[in-house]
Chains A and B, each alone.
Chain A
């Protein structure tokens, strides 16, 4: 019986070749659940390894900054809702604070407390989506449904408060549009009580699930220097081990009155700054938000909710200012150029997801394709604010 020689290409070579194959281009998106919106990632892969990632943005671009030139200062608030449609209250807050800083207007105490409660509830709602969809990216269906169940309770409160379920347009320059309804505080406290118990359940369900940890620990590590270089903020920066939070380190509104901690990544399950750390920062922030809400509800005074010395048509004094606040995704900044008139000359939005997504160009190459999905999921991007 004669021996047949198996020819396998590389097996016939004298020297073993390094296992490189031809680069393959894959489009991740624009319609792909793992991109969290209409985002296209052009991924070049070498086998299963990512060689380069190039994001293509702009599918949701509306040029809200151009629209601002035709609105007066208050009218543009409604467009800030649409940037981060998962956390519109935080966007409203950022713009309101930015304009008020230039106007130098005093916001009534009651309005400040309602604002903080809304912003923190919204942060929880947004993080619930982040946690749920991240679990979904990792193949865990169930947590998403529970997360949406709890988010629904928050949306119900917002609906009674503002009339909207997704886009609220509730904050206004100088205060909030309507006073809180009777029983608002009780609703919020009930929600917080439920939330704190449910978060513990999520931890047992997802956070410390062995499969979930295997998929996320040591994956997509982003260190502090990279975060600073690429302008990453929010849970991405805190996940990298830096407890930086605009609410604490660059306080605005009345956040300096409340007692809360800033969670940060410690590499508990793997390396500092991996996907699990970023995920866990969000879960822990929900606990901290509950703490802030309790204090704000306890200290809530009566009185006006809109600054009385502000006219309907505000005129911002000429000048420029960059103001940043902490949204659920990171640092939302408004760079405002005013000419002294009733319309903005130029409103620039610095959105956190924009910078957070940029870092994928740096950390993407070298990881497995499945880890790329995990990393994009852990960045928690919202395309509405990237494309604006």
Chain B
């Protein structure tokens, strides 16, 4: 089924809940946040669509996105060369979004749904009841982007430790100096315990060697 036909079918069934069409490299629809679970269920259960697989669920922080397409997002965000927020007191203001990339193994077509919610009301219904795989992807989106999924059976952090402060993939995230007494960056982190001089260690724990 063509993307335009899928969009028309969704509009027919869901009415005002279909807000916009995604006409980028990928094709899809923007859905009102409250109706996303309903829309996903429709995608899966409608025989002509039969999207039985959720390939990917992506949480995005749209803060500072350069809508003009000129690629000035990094300048807007004020990141330094290493991609770190230079001004720690910068307050994020953009929306948060979630993308659902679906695939139908029967018909072989793909479709993308998206939602966009304001930063201070980052809560959307879970779709883990539609595709079980969403449960872990939503946990990841909660962990790294800070999107809350209402009705999720087990919404805990998945990649970071319980009790971690902040959500790293938010554009205004500032890496903490230490976590539970362990220095994560700064002078203490880079200090060579065997030398008086401060030397940046060549190996970080996350580099696997």
Residues of A within 8 A of B (CB): 57-58, 60-63, 65-67, 69-71, 82, 85, 101-102, 228-231, 242, 244, 249-250, 315, 317-322, 324, 331, 333, 335, 337-343, 345-346, 348, 350, 354-355, 358, 362, 384, 387-388
Contact = CB atoms under 8 A, between A and B. Distances in A.
Nearest to B108: A249
B83 A67 contact: yes
Contacts of B60: 337, 346, 348
Contact of B55 (A57, A71, A249, A331): A331
A249 B105 CA distance: 9
- Number of chain B interface residues as a range: 35 or more
A348 B169 CA distance: 10
Interface string B111-141: 0100000000000000000011101100000
A231 B66 contact: no
Contacts of A331: 55
A229 B69 contact: no
7 contacts: A58-B159, A63-B168, A63-B169, A66-B83, A319-B25, A339-B69, A358-B135
Nearest to A335: B58
Contacts of A388: 159
Contacts of B65: 339, 345
Q: Which 3 A-B pairs have the closest CB atoms?
A: A70-B83, A341-B71, A231-B133
Given A320-B26, A324-B55, A339-B65, 8 more contacts: A58-B159, A60-B206, A69-B79, A82-B208, A228-B52, A340-B70, A350-B55, A384-B208
Interface of B: 22, 24-26, 52-56, 58-61, 65-66, 68-74, 79, 81-84, 99, 101, 105, 108, 110, 112, 131-133, 135-136, 144, 157-161, 168-169, 171, 173, 206-208
A237 B136 CA distance: 18
Contacts of B159: 57-58, 61, 63, 387-388
A318 B26 CA distance: 12
Contacts of B66: 318, 339-341
A372 B66 CA distance: 48
Contacts of A69: 74, 79, 83, 171
Contacts of B169: 63, 65-66, 346
A173 to B, nearest CB: 16
A337 B83 CA distance: 16
A256 to B, nearest CB: 14
